Each structure stands twice: as structure tokens, then as C-alpha cells.
């Protein structure tokens, strides 16, 4: 049943319709055939009976006189005439008392039935047709005629009728099937075209074909509707296609942009670290396959942070672009230059033969970048440090090479400005030291493990203490006493400088207030603050808060800044320093004479003191030009109404010469090394009593 | 054998037909009937049957017909027997009654049955169908004449007489009869 149902479901609509029509026709024909058969049989039976009855009637009519006159012979002759009808099996002529008057029987062995068994005038008993007919004479029944005929004719006729009806049925079904097939083919032709159209659309996703609607019937309406729908879809598809093309072009553009964004630095248009790693891996594969060498240069711009902080990010960005152009102009076409991030660049050198091939390029890069760069009216000097790692000597994979080049770059920085350095495996230990230092630095800040030492500043005229510079020190249990030159750059790199500066400022102010409470001579405490602190939006507010907390007079605080503080965003720096000076805080320019900025700021900035860099002081008496510079600085400061202080004064000659040059204050080991807070207290008290 | 069966049958037929007439009459009449021979009774029945197969005219000279009259000599012992036999019987589609009357001058007879000894005037029988009890008598006037053939009662018909009487007999009757040549 399920198979039949599955088979039916797989048929086409046309075949289903044809099947249903054929089945309905078959059922109708079967019913009609049954009815016709029944009617035929009944009619034939009636015909046979009527025929038999007619014979009986005839016998009855013609046998009356024989009955009345007792003429058996004539009666027998009459019945014998039925011999001409083979179906007639026997016949009886009975008198009025139903006694046999005459008889006829086809076969002598045939048993004649009793007349009593007849219930009707015509009936079928034992497959034999029985008809009996009263013999009447003037309304008087004078006898009876009984004729019995076999029903083989009826059976034969039944078979004939069955055969005829079967043939009619088969022919009718065939004709019906053929007519249905042809008519439905004709009627369903538009439907088939419609189905074909739908299949075409489904297969090809094309909507350009149509079916012509010939009629206005439901099918015509359907075809018109489908055509209209296809018109709409085709129009929408065209619009969609156009829209899709626009989108595709936009996607292609966006993809290209995303690819560029993902692989190139937006500022310098150089490959970024992602693309570099790809190229590096590819280069490693090539070098391994070709058994060649390659090298990785890790460049970090020296002092870029100062420039970026002081001149602004826009200038810093322009500087990075210029640097990128310069590096790209120097390297070979086969080499790759990428911006690793911030002020770090990487140059990938491939197809090298020996280490010596790298050195000229490194020197060329350093030389090119050391040339002044003109930006926004400022002539900037920038240098770079280069760390170099080679494949396969310094690493077998990209991450190792990058890490080792970075380590080598830090080692180059340690060597000074504009240096390059090849990686050596013992540098890994130094790199680990830096990581350790960073970690300990964070812990020290949290635990306040730093301490300050104080170096007095002596007035050359009076010999009195006119100021004390607070200097930070870090005593680590494992690393021992660390010089600020060792850890302050690290603090700057890891972003701890601001917090560290706040701690120093508060500690120094607190200590100065303590000294004053202890009866020491009132003096200023000088604190070095980096440019980043001054440029911080809350710098003035935080300094004010510290002074409030420590109850220290602003006049007892001096802030030392470097010339680099003014390089970037001079206006903001002037604004901050002006606010500080108005509070009473003295501003000193530290390391004066070593910067690159214009001297014109001295005229505009609210500074009160110039601090001559120790490098000049240490060369006093050795180089006349150096002495001239010192004298020029002092003369310049004096002419601007500024006080001057010289640091790193270590002997009497230096002190005497500086005094003779007009320097107002002297700081250095000649008078005192940096002292602890307690020793400074003692020093101050001693100086006071003296 | 056939004769025996025929006789049995005839006897039964006669008895059946006469049952209603003969069961209730007087004992005297019953005795008289018993005196009749089987053959006479059979002839009486045949005479009655003859009336059934004759196409009697609708009208005669005197009146419209509603009855067929059978006449017998008043001395004929079958007179009463036949009268009782036809009592209540009708013939033909018109269901005419049958009446048995003594033959006499002036009697309107349609059929007259004469025994062997009767010598009727032929002039008086010109419009009457005459049945003779014996073929040997009444040859010139009888239309139907009985005779025996192998102990079987048969009858002969004179078609000429029948034609002269302007009567028609049923072919059924004629097929049983011997036609007079």
C-alpha cells in the first residue's frame, strides 16, 4: 500500500489526473456494465419465459378441443410439435383435475415433476424454466399446459453478455483513456508549459521566459499572474543585480581597505607588524630553502617621546612619516620596512651572504635619520638605535628573531645615541634584567621603597644654603642601590613616571616642611619634574594639593624642568609654568645648554633660574670654548634677570671660577654629596649655627 | 389403453360437469341418468361442446340472441341429462346461455340432436344445425354425425350443410372431425 502510495506521489499531475479520470470512468463503466448485464439477463430471461409462455399459450389455445373431446392423440401431437424447440425438455397437458391428459418429453429418462411444485406461472426451478398455462374455454379452466425448458440458453446468453460487456468495457476504457489522454494533453498543454517555465526558473534562476496565455479561464489567469510575477521578479532582480554590483564594488573597495588596514600602517603606509610577521615567516622559509641568510633590524627612535610629548602628536606623526620615508629610501628594493608600533620600525633584509653586508646599511640608516628634519618650522634632530638579529644564527623563527632584535636594540640604546648592535646570546640575560627591573619598579612604587637624598645648593656670595635639590634613590634588596639613570627611563617607558614624580614631590615638600619645623633655615627644595608631568592637565592642581597637604609655602618649592619641556606645546607649558610662578614657585631650567630648542623661550617663559649642565662644569679649565659657553650662559641668564646655578662642582677651582663668572649658586660634591634626610637636617642646622 | 384412459377421463369430465346438476336432483332422475349409456352421455357432452365451437350469428330472424337453444326429441332420455348439464353454463365471448328444449314445431332451435329412431321433417330443419347420433341416419340433414372408431367416439362434419346454415365452425373443432366428402 505504501509502495502504491509512493508510486502515486511520484506521478506527474497530468498522469494523476489521467489515472483518476480512468479510474472514475472504469468505475462508471463497471457499474453501467453490471446494470446492463442485470437488465440484459432479466430481459433475456423474460424473453425466454415469454417465449415459453407464448408456446404454452399456443398449446393451450389449440388443445382446448382436444381436451373437450378427449382427443389424446391430437393433444400428444400438439405437444410433440415442441420437438422443434431443442430447449424444451418436456411438456404436459393436464385436464381440469390436473391429471395428465397428454405429455411430451425429450428424453425418456427424464423424470417429470409434479404439477404441485409449481407456484407461479413462470419460474426457474433447478435451472429449468417452468411455464404453465391454464387452458380456458369460455372462462372455464378446462385444463393446464406445462412446458419445461432448459436454461442453457440463458447461461449461454449470460456468457455472451459477459463477453460483450467485457469487450465493451475494455474498448470503452481504451477509448476513454485515449480521449482523456488527448483531451488532457490539449487542456494541460498550457499547464505543462507553465510547469516547464517554473522548472526553468528554479533551475537557472533566470526570469526572462514567459508563457503566452491563450484563454481567459482560470489557467489563463494563472499564466497571466505568473508572467506578471516574473516581470516583477525580473525587474527586482535587475535592481538587485545593479545593487549587488554596487555592493560588490563597495565590498571589494572595503576589502582592499580592510586588507590595507590589517596589513599596513595607516600613518606611514608601511607594512604593519602583521604583514611583517608574514613576510618574516616567508623569508625564513625562503632562506631555509635557499640556505641563505637574512637579518632583522629593530629600530627605535631616540628621544621621540620627548618630541611627541612636547611638540604634539601631530608633529610626532609627521616625524614618523618622514622617518619612514627616509628608511624606505635607504634600504634595498628587496628589503621590507615596517612600522612595528609607536616609534619602532623594523627592516627585514633578505638574501644576505654575511654579517658585513648589514653594517653599511645600518650605518646608512643612522646617518640618514641623524640629519635634521624640518617640521612645522622646527628643525628637529632625531637619532635611532638599531638592534640586529640574524637568521639562522640568532633565531630559527620569527618570534625569536624579533625578540632578539629588540634585545639588541636596547643594548644599542645603552651604548648611547645613534648606535647599532648585533644580537649576542648573552644579551638575553640583560633583557631579563630589564624585565626584572620593570617588575621591581612597580613593586617599589606600591611599597614606597624609594627614598630621597638631598644635595644642598650654596650661594656663592654668602656661602649660605639657598636651596636643596631632592634626588631619588632606590635601594633594592637584590639589585642594591640603583642610580636614577638606570630606573627612571624604565619608569618612563612603563608609565610610572607621573606617579613617581608625585611621590617625590610630596616627599620633598613634606621633608622641607619638617626641616622648617625642626628650626632649619628656611630654604627651597628643588624637585625635578619631567615634561610629561608638566604637560599633565592636573599638574597645577596636584602640586597645589601637595603644598596644601604639607603646609609648605610655594616659595619653598622649586621645580626643575629640562629644555625639552618647552619643545612641544610651548603655549601650554608657558601657561602651566606661569600659574606655578604666580603661586610663588620658582622654575629652574635643568641641564641648560644641552638642548636643541631655541633660546627665545627664555624670554617668554616664566623661569627664574638656569641650571648649567654638569658636563660644562666638569670641563672647566680644560677647554676654553667650554668656559666660554659657561660664561655665555651666565651672561645670558643675567641679562634676562635670571639666577644661575652650576651643578657637579667638585673642587675649589671650579667654585672660584664660577663665582668669578657671576654664577649665583653652586651645587656639588665640593660642598656636599647628596645626604639623607637626617644628615641634611644636621647639615642645615650646622650651617645655620655657623 | 388410450381408450380406457379416455373413458376414464370422459367419465370424470362428465361427472365433474354434471356434478352440480346431478347431485341434488331427485332420486328418480338419478336413476334415469344411470340408465343412460356411457356413449349417450358422451354424445350429450359432445353436443354441448359443439355449441362452443360454433360461431353463432348475433341475430336471427326473430330477435337478438342471448341464448343458444339445443333441442331434443321430447322422448329422448338425454333431454333431461343434457339440460342439467348446460344448466348455468355459458358459451362464447358473449357468454350466451344454453337452453335445452324439447324439439317441437314452433320451437326456435339452434341445434337439434336426433337419435337413431327420430325421423324429423327436413323442411323444418332448414335453419337448424342437426346433430345425428349415428352416421348411418339423417345423412341429408345432419351437419354433425357421430360414429365410433375403434371404441372411440368420433364425429363427422358436413361442411356443405354448415355453409348452407351460414354457420362457421372453429378449426379446432374441424381438426377433430372427419370431413364429409
DSSP letters for A486-502: HHHHHHHHHT-HHHHHH
Write down the residue that cell numbers 618630541 correspond to: A307
Which CATH number fits the domain that encloses residue A53?
Answer: 3.30.450.20
Residues 6+ apart with CB under 8 A from A112: A90, A92, A103, A105
The pLDDT mean for chain B works out to 79
pLDDT digits (tens, 9 = 90+) for A442-481: 888 888 889 999 999 999 999 899 999 999 998 888 778 8
Residue A101 above 70 pLDDT?
yes
Confidence category of residue A562, pLDDT binned at 50, 70, 90 = confident
Evaluate if pTM is beyond 0.80. Answer: no
Q: How far apart are CA A500 and CA A498, in angstroms?
A: 5
Inter-axis angle of helices A304-311 and A313-330, nearest 10: 140
Interstrand relation of B168-169 and B178-179 (parallel, antiparallel or unpaired) = unpaired
A86 shares a domain with A44: yes
A314 shares a domain with A447: no
Look at residues A393, A425, A457 and tell me which one is the last residue of a structural domain. Answer: A425
- Mean pLDDT over residues B155-162, rounded? 91
A599 shares a domain with A480: yes
- Within 13 A of B157's CA, how many CA atoms are on the CB side? 24
CB atoms A95 and B173 under 8 Å? no
Residues 6+ apart with CB under 8 A from A470: A452, A453, A454, A504, A507, A508, A511, A525, A526, A527, A528
CB atoms A70 and B13 under 8 Å? yes
Q: Is B178 on the interface with A (CB under 8 A)?
A: no
Query: Is A192 exposed, middle or buried (CB count within 10 Å of its CB: 0-12, 13-18, 19+)?
Result: middle
Q: Contacts of residue A77 in chain B, CB cutoff 8 Å? A: none
Q: How far apart are CA B115 and CA A421, in angstroms?
A: 185
Can you point out the beta strands (E) in A177-280?
none
Confidence category of residue A40, pLDDT binned at 50, 70, 90 = confident
Q: How far apart are CA A148 and CA A113, in angstroms?
A: 10
Query: Does residue A431 sit within a domain?
Result: no
Residues 6+ apart with CB under 8 A from A559: A526, A527, A529, A534, A543, A580, A585, A586, A587, A588
Choose between A147 and B65: higher pLDDT.
Answer: A147
Q: How far apart are CA A142 and CA A68, in angstroms?
A: 8
CB atoms A95 and B5 under 8 Å? no
Which CATH number fits the domain that encloses residue A538?
Answer: 3.20.20.450
For residues A610 and A638, is the Cβ–Cβ distance under 8 A?
A: no
For residues A189 and A30, is the Cβ–Cβ distance under 8 A?
A: no
Q: Contacts of residue A69 in chain B, CB cutoff 8 Å? A: 46, 49, 176
From B92, which residue of chain A is nearest by alpha-carbon distance? A138
Q: Contacts of residue B49 in chain A, CB cutoff 8 Å? A: 65, 68-69
What domains are defined for chain B?
2-179 (3.40.50)
Q: How far apart are CA A629 and CA A599, in angstroms?
A: 14
Domain of A49, in residue numbers = 12-163
For residues A130 and A119, is the Cβ–Cβ distance under 8 A?
A: no
Task: Phi first, then psi: give them for residue A466, nearest 5 degrees.
Answer: -110, 0
A656 shares a domain with A553: yes
Query: Does residue A480 sit within a domain?
Result: yes
CB atoms B172 and A101 under 8 Å? no
What is the Cα B138 distance to its own chain's centre?
15
Q: Which of A274-283, A307-316, A349-358 shows the lowest per-residue confidence on average (mean pLDDT)?
A: A307-316
CB atoms B46 and A66 under 8 Å? no
The C-alpha torsion from A648 through A649 and A654 to A660, rounded to 10°, is: 100
- Mean pLDDT over residues A211-237, rounded? 86
Q: Count of CB atoms within 10 A of residue A118's CB?
A: 17
Residue A534's pLDDT is 86
Q: Rounded to 5 degrees, what angle do the CA atoms A578, A510, A551 make?
A: 65
Q: How far apart are CA B128 and CA A654, in angstroms?
A: 210
Residues 6+ apart with CB under 8 A from A570: A601, A604
A130 shares a domain with A22: yes
CB atoms B176 and A95 under 8 Å? no
Query: Does residue A199 sit within a domain?
Result: no
A399 shares a domain with A455: no
Element (H, E) at A95: strand A88-95
Of B5, B12, B49, the CB nearest to A69: B49
Confidence category of residue A567, pLDDT binned at 50, 70, 90 = low
Q: According to the 3-state scheme, what is the secondary structure of B40-52?
A: HHHHHHHHHHHHH
Choose between A234 and B4: higher pLDDT.
Answer: A234
Summary count for chain A: helices (H), strands (E):
22, 21
CB atoms B95 and A99 under 8 Å? no
Residue B18 above 60 pLDDT?
no
CB atoms A65 and B170 under 8 Å? yes
pLDDT digits (tens, 9 = 90+) for A619-637: 888 888 889 999 999 998 9
Which CATH number fits the domain that encloses residue A334?
Answer: 3.30.70.270
CB atoms A97 and B90 under 8 Å? no
Q: Contacts of residue A72 in chain B, CB cutoff 8 Å? A: 2, 5-6
Q: Is A186 on the interface with B (CB under 8 A)?
A: no
Query: Does residue A21 sit within a domain?
Result: yes
Q: How far apart are CA A547 and CA A115, in angstroms?
A: 155
Residue B65's pLDDT is 64
Q: Is A71 on the interface with B (CB under 8 A)?
A: yes
First-residue to last-residue Cα distance in chain A = 127
Query: Does residue A568 sit within a domain?
Result: yes
Of A74, A97, A137, the CB nearest to B176: A74
A461 shares a domain with A409: no
A324 shares a domain with A250: no
Grid cell of A328 as nine digits:
624606505
A518 shares a domain with A412: no
Cis peptide before A392 (omega within 30 of 0): yes
Query: Does residue A183 sit within a domain?
Result: no
Q: How far apart are CA B17 and CA B14, in angstroms?
A: 5
Confidence category of residue B9, pLDDT binned at 50, 70, 90 = very low
Residue B93's pLDDT is 79
For residues A315 and A375, is the Cβ–Cβ distance under 8 A?
A: yes
CB atoms B13 and A73 under 8 Å? no
Inter-axis angle of helices A218-263 and A273-290, nearest 10: 80
The Cα-based distances of A191 to A104, A179, A198, A221, A277 in angstroms read: 74, 18, 10, 12, 64
Count of structural domains, chain A: 4
- Mean pLDDT over residues A639-648, rounded? 92
Residue B32's pLDDT is 62
Residue B8 above 60 pLDDT?
no
Q: Is B101 on the interface with A (CB under 8 A)?
A: no
Q: How far apart are CA A599 and CA A632, in angstroms?
A: 12
Beta bridge partners of A453: A471
Q: How far apart are CA A318 and CA A325, in angstroms?
A: 11
Residue B20's pLDDT is 40
CB atoms A138 and B52 under 8 Å? yes
Q: Rounded to 5 degrees, what angle do the CA atoms A171, A175, A177 make?
A: 115
A453 shares a domain with A379: no
Of A62, A69, A72, the CB nearest to B2: A72
Nearest alpha-carbon partner for B154 in B69, B42, B73: B42
CB atoms B6 and A70 under 8 Å? yes
Of A66, A95, A138, the CB nearest to B176: A66
CB atoms B172 and A139 under 8 Å? no
- Mean pLDDT over residues B119-133, rounded? 86
Confidence category of residue A595, pLDDT binned at 50, 70, 90 = low
Interstrand relation of A465-476 and A450-459 (parallel, antiparallel or unpaired) = antiparallel
Grid cell of A170 as nine digits:
475494455
CB atoms A64 and B172 under 8 Å? yes
Residue B11 above 60 pLDDT?
no
Task: Phi first, then psi: give them for residue A452, nearest 5 degrees.
Answer: -105, 145
The complex's ipTM? 0.73
Percent of chain A with pLDDT over 70: 96
Confidence category of residue B104, pLDDT binned at 50, 70, 90 = confident
CB atoms B6 and A72 under 8 Å? yes
Q: Contacts of residue B38 in chain A, CB cutoff 8 Å? A: none
CB atoms A97 and B6 under 8 Å? no
For residues A386 and A362, is the Cβ–Cβ distance under 8 A?
A: yes
- Mean pLDDT over residues B1-27, rounded? 43
Confidence category of residue B7, pLDDT binned at 50, 70, 90 = very low
Query: Does residue A194 sit within a domain?
Result: no
Give the 3-state secondary structure of residue A179.
Answer: helix
Of B5, B91, B176, the CB nearest to A71: B176
Q: Is B92 on the interface with A (CB under 8 A)?
A: yes
A360 shares a domain with A450: no
Q: Contacts of residue A135 in chain B, CB cutoff 8 Å? A: none
Q: Is A492 on the interface with B (CB under 8 A)?
A: no
Q: How far apart are CA A410 and CA A428, in angstroms?
A: 11
- The DSSP string of A17-70 is HHHHHHHHHHHHHHHHHHHHHHHHHHHHHHHHHHHHHHHHHHHHHHTHHHHHTT
CB atoms B9 and A99 under 8 Å? yes
Q: Is A95 on the interface with B (CB under 8 A)?
A: yes
A313 shares a domain with A252: no
Query: Does residue A184 sit within a domain?
Result: no
Residues 6+ apart with CB under 8 A from A297: A346, A347, A348, A349, A358, A361, A362, A365, A386, A387, A388, A405, A420
Q: Contacts of residue A138 in chain B, CB cutoff 8 Å? A: 52, 90-93, 95
From A75, which residue of chain B is nearest by alpha-carbon distance? B176
Of B6, B52, B95, the CB nearest to A137: B52
From B154, which residue of chain A is nearest by alpha-carbon distance? A69
Cα four-point dihedral sign A279, A281, A285, A287:
positive
For residues A25 and A183, is the Cβ–Cβ distance under 8 A?
A: no
Q: Contacts of residue B16 in chain A, CB cutoff 8 Å? A: 96-97
Q: Count of CB atoms within 10 A of residue A144's CB?
A: 25
Q: Which of A295-299, A459-463, B59-63, B96-100 shows the lowest per-residue confidence on average (mean pLDDT)?
A: B59-63
Q: Is A100 on the interface with B (CB under 8 A)?
A: no
- Mean pLDDT over residues B30-55, rounded? 84
Q: Residues 601-620, chain A: which have Cβ within 8 Å of B?
A: none
Q: Is A116 on the interface with B (CB under 8 A)?
A: no
Of B90, B172, B173, the CB nearest to A138: B90
Residue A611 above 60 pLDDT?
yes
Residue B19 above 80 pLDDT?
no
Amino acid at each position: 500500500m505504501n509502495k502504491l502510495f509512493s508510486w502515486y506521489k511520484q506521478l506527474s499531475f497530468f498522469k494523476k489526473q489521467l489515472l483518476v479520470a480512468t479510474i472514475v470512468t472504469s468505475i462508471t463503466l463497471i457499474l453501467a456494465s453490471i446494470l446492463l448485464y442485470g437488465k440484459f439477463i432479466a430481459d433475456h430471461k423474460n424473453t425466454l419465459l415469454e417465449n415459453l409462455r407464448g408456446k404454452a399459450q399456443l398449446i393451450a389455445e389449440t388443445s382446448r378441443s382436444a381436451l373437450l373431446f378427449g382427443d389424446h392423440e391430437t393433444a400428444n401431437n400438439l405437444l410433440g410439435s415442441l420437438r422443434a424447440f431443442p430447449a424444451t425438455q418436456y411438456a404436459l397437458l393436464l385436464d381440469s383435475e390436473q391429471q395428465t391428459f397428454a405429455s411430451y418429453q425429450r428424453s425418456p429418462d427424464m423424470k417429470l415433476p409434479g404439477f404441485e411444485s409449481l407456484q407461479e406461472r413462470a419460474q426457474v426451478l433447478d435451472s429449468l424454466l417452468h411455464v404453465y398455462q391454464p387452458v380456458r374455454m369460455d372462462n372455464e379452466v378446462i385444463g393446464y399446459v406445462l412446458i419445461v425448458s432448459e436454461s442453457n440458453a440463458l447461461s449461454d446468453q449470460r456468457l455472451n453478455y459477459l463477453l460483450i460487456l467485457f469487450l465493451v468495457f475494455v474498448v470503452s476504457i481504451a477509448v476513454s483513456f485515449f480521449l482523456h489522454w488527448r483531451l488532457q494533453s490539449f487542456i494541460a498543454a498550457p499547464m505543462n508549459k507553465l510547469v516547464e517555465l517554473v522548472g526553468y526558473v528554479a533551475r537557472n534562476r533566470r526570469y526572462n521566459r514567459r508563457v503566452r496565455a491563450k484563454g481567459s479561464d482560470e489557467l489563463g489567469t494563472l499564466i497571466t499572474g505568473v508572467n506578471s510575477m516574473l516581470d516583477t521578479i525580473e525587474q527586482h532582480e535587475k535592481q538587485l543585480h545593479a545593487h549587488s554590483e554596487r555592493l560588490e564594488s563597495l565590498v571589494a573597495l572595503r576589502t582592499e581597505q580592510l586588507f590595507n588596514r590589517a596589513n599596513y600602517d595607516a600613518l606611514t603606509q608601511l607594512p604593519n607588524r602583521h604583514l611583517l610577521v608574514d613576510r618574516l615567516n616567508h623569508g625564513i622559509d625562503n632562506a631555509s630553502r635557499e640556505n641563505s641568510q637574512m637579518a632583522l633590524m629593530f629600530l627605535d627612535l631616540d628621544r621621540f617621546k620627548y618630541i611627541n610629548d612636547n611638540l604634539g602628536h601631530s608633529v610626532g606623526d609627521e616625524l614618523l612619516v618622514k622617518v619612514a620615508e627616509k628608511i624606505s629610501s635607504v634600504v634595498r628594493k628587496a628589503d621590507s620596512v615596517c612600522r612595528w608600533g609607536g616609534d619602532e620600525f623594523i627592516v627585514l633584509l633578505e638574501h644576505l651572504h654575511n654579517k658585513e653586508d648589514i653594517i653599511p646599511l645600518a650605518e646608512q640608516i643612522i646617518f640618514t635619520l641623524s640629519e635634521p628634519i624640518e617640521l612645522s618650522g622646527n628643525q628637529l634632530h632625531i637619532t635611532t638605535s638599531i638592534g640586529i638579529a640574524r637568521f639562522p644564527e640568532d633565531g630559527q623563527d620569527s618570534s625569536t628573531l624579533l625578540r632578539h632584535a629588540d634585545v639588541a636594540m636596547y643594548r644599542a640604546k645603552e651604548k648611547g645615541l645613534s648606535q647599532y648592535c648585533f644580537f649576542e646570546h648573552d644579551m638575553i640575560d640583560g633583557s631579563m634584567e630589564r624585565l626584572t627591573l620593570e617588575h621591581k619598579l612597580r613593586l617599589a612604587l606600591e611599597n614606597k621603597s624609594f627614598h630621597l637624598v638631598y644635595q644642598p645648593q650654596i650661594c656663592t656670595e654668602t656661602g649660605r644654603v639657598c636651596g636643596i635639590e631632592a634626588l631619588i634613590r632606590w635601594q633594592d634588596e637584590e639589585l642594591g642601590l640603583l642610580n636614577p639613570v638606570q630606573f627612571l627611563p624604565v619608569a618612563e617607558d612603563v608609565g610610572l613616571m607621573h606617579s613617581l614624580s608625585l611621590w617625590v614631590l610630596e616627599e620633598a615638600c613634606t621633608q622641607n616642611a619638617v626641616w622648617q619645623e625642626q628650626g632649619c633655615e628656611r630654604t627651597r627644595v628643588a624637585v625635578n619634574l619631567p615634561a610629561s608631568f608638566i604637560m599633565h592637565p592636573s599638574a597645577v592642581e596636584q602640586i597645589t594639593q601637595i603644598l596644601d597637604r604639607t603646609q609648605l609655602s610655594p616659595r619653598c618649592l622649586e621645580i626643575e624642568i629640562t629644555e625639552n619641556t618647552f619643545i612641544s606645546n610651548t603655549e601650554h607649558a608657558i601657561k602651566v609654568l606661569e600659574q606655578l610662578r604666580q603661586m610663588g614657585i620658582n622654575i629652574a631650567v635643568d641641564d641648560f645648554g644641552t638642548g636643541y630648542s631655541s633660546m627665545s623661550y627664555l624670554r617668554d617663559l616664566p623661569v627664574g633660574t638656569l641650571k648649567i649642565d654638569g658636563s660644562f662644569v666638569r670641563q672647566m679649565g680644560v677647554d676654553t670654548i667650554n668656559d666660554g659657553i659657561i660664561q655665555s650662559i651666565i651672561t645670558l641668564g643675567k641679562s634676562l634677570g635670571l639666577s644661575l646655578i652650576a651643578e657637579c662642582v667638585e673642587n675649589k677651582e671650579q667654585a672660584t671660577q664660577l663665582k668669578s663668572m657671576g654664577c649665583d649658586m653652586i651645587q656639588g660634591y665640593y660642598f656636599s654629596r647628596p645626604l639623607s634626610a637626617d644628615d641634611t637636617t644636621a647639615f642645615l642646622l650646622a650651617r645655620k649655627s655657623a | 389403453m388410450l381408450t380406457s384412459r379416455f373413458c376414464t377421463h370422459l367419465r370424470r369430465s362428465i361427472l365433474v360437469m354434471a356434478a352440480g346438476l346431478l347431485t341434488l336432483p331427485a332420486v328418480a332422475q338419478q336413476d334415469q341418468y344411470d340408465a343412460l349409456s356411457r356413449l349417450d352421455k358422451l354424445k350429450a357432452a359432445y353436443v354441448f361442446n359443439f355449441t362452443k365451437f360454433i360461431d353463432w350469428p348475433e341475430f336471427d330472424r326473430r330477435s337478438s340472441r342471448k341464448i343458444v337453444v339445443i333441442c331434443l326429441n321430447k322422448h329422448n332420455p338425454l333431454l333431461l341429462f343434457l339440460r342439467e348439464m348446460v344448466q348455468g353454463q355459458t358459451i362464447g365471448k358473449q357468454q350466451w346461455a344454453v337452453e335445452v328444449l324439447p324439439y317441437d314445431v314452433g320451437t326456435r332451435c339452434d341445434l337439434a340432436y336426433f337419435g337413431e329412431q327420430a325421423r324429423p321433417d327436413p323442411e323444418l330443419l332448414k335453419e337448424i344445425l342437426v346433430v345425428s347420433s349415428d352416421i348411418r341416419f339423417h345423412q341429408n340433414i345432419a351437419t354433425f354425425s357421430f360414429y365410433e372408431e375403434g371404441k372411440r367416439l368420433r364425429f363427422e362434419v358436413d361442411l356443405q350443410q354448415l355453409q348452407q346454415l351460414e354457420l362457421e365452425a372453429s378449426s379446432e373443432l374441424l381438426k377433430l372431425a372427419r370431413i364429409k366428402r
